[in-house]
Structure 1
Amino acid sequence: MPGTGQTNLRANAAESQNWDAPPNAASLAQISMFDLDHGAARGGSLRRDIEEQAMTPRSDTARYAGISIALHWLMLLVIVGVFAAMELREYYPKGSDTRNWFKSWHFTLGLTVFALVWVRIGARVFTSSPAPQVGPAWRTGPAKLVHLALYALMICMPLAGWALLSAEGDAIPFYGLSLPALIAKNPVLAQQIEWAHVLGGDIVFWLILAHAAAAIFHHYWLKDHLLLRMLPARR
């Protein structure tokens, strides 16, 4: 009979062979179940972590408040009406009723922009807004300047139109009302204001195009969901 020492050597050799052998499916399943149970015991389920992360809103898809979104698109429509009224006016002879009608609506809609921009500024101040977009300075800097310029022009352009009508001695129409003149009648000053008003209108037109082009670039090229922040959420 083999001795005790020889028996122990054989047992150790068998254990060594079993350790080096590849694990079978049953052993892998046992190891996996052990890892999952051990991970849950340490403080958290992977599934629960994934669900919590999915439920956390992403900053790049957060939207502006509903009133800010509504005012954004409403003011765009009004501004389109301002430009359309001024362009369509040119198709009719000076002094005609139709030409004066378009001119009246040009100034009425312009003053509507002036009223709405203050509501929009208040909405931006008193409602939540998405976090600013992160990006290189060459992209974020001009974007901020365009926004500031648009807000400034939405305030200054209607006031210039109001002053223009006042300097010409014309009535200032606003939905059936006649607003008071800002300045006394002054034909020379009226020409200067008209020149600045026309120039400002051209600047507004190109700034809006640049703003729209940047939004399209962000949405289709950078794919950073910037455009979605100013769109209503889908139900």
Structure 2
Amino acid sequence: MKNGYSFSQRLVHWLTLLVIIVVYLAIENRGLFERGSDERALVMLTHFYAGFTILILAIIRLVLRMTNSVAPIDPLPPVWLQRSAMLGHVLLYAFLLAMPIIGLVMLNAKGGSLDLFGVSLPSLWPKDPEMAEQLEELHESIGKFGYVLIGLHAVVALVHHHVLKDNTLTRMTRGR
């Protein structure tokens, strides 16, 4: 009987976290470099590529979640907690999918594009500086919300482990 997530699910989960850390480090540290400098451009490019990687990882995570079964939480938490967990996961997946898409549309609206291995990704939006500004504000606001969402996810996992003493955390660390 399964007692946790598959190796691939755990790998993609923790890889997603590492790439999220890269995204946040890049954007938070861009101010260390002068506007227009090669160093700042590299930091922003890192942010863009890492963000796109998160989009790919989120899609992979969804496919894995739909195709792999997982052992139930033991002991089973109350229904209200199960529903709260479902809401939390929906918000996390929405965050992981929406942020890179908003970022790509914002980049296009600024007149830019993202190149992968020398191939320019198709533009999702025509150049529109006003739209780009609105999307940038939205992207930043959701990004700040992401700190709270990810922090809550980690705290709740620790509460499950240390207070509720169930297998929620070990399902993602030890696997099957």
Same fold? TM cut 0.5 = yes
Asked if structure 1 preserves the Cα contact closer than 8 Å seen for 2:161 and 2:169, the reply is: yes
Equivalent in 129, 151, 163 of residue 93 of structure 2:
151
1:230 — aligned with what?
Answer: 172
Question: SS of the residue aligned with 1:90?
Answer: helix
* Counterpart Cα distance in 2 of 1:76 and 1:126: 21
Name the count of aligned residue pairs. Answer: 175
* Counterpart Cα distance in 2 of 1:141 and 1:211: 14
Asked if structure 1 preserves the Cα contact closer than 8 Å seen for 2:16 and 2:54, the reply is: yes
Amino acid at match of 2:125: I
Indicate how the Cα distance of structure 1 residues 228 and 176 shifts in structure 2: closer, same or farther if over 3 A, else same.
Answer: farther
1:213 — aligned with what?
Answer: 155
Indicate how the Cα distance of structure 1 residues 233 and 116 shifts in structure 2: closer, same or farther if over 3 A, else same.
Answer: closer
Matches within 5 A, 1:126-145: 126-132=67-73, 134-145=76-87
Matches within 5 A, 1:148-227: 148-174=90-116, 176-227=118-169
Note the aligned Cα RMSD (angstroms).
Answer: 1.8
* Counterpart Cα distance in 1 of 2:50 and 2:24: 10
Amino acid at match of 1:211: H
Asked if structure 2 preserves the Cα contact closer than 8 Å seen for 1:107 and 1:173, the reply is: no
Indicate how the Cα distance of structure 1 residues 175 and 154 shifts in structure 2: closer, same or farther if over 3 A, else same.
Answer: farther
The alignment-based identity, stated in percent, is 37
Matches within 5 A, 1:104-123: 104-123=45-64
The normalised TM-score by structure 2 is 0.92
Q: Give structure 2 stretches of 5+ with no counterpart.
A: none
* Counterpart Cα distance in 1 of 2:102 and 2:51: 10
* Counterpart Cα distance in 1 of 2:117 and 2:167: 39
Indicate how the Cα distance of structure 1 residues 202 and 172 shifts in structure 2: closer, same or farther if over 3 A, else same.
Answer: same
Structure with the bigger RCO (C-alpha within 8 Å, sep 6+) is 2
Q: Give structure 1 stretches of 5+ with no counterpart.
A: 1-56
CA deviation vs aligned residue, 1:63-114 (integer Å, no higher than 9, x gap): 1111111110011101111111111111111111111111011011111111
The normalised TM-score by structure 1 is 0.70
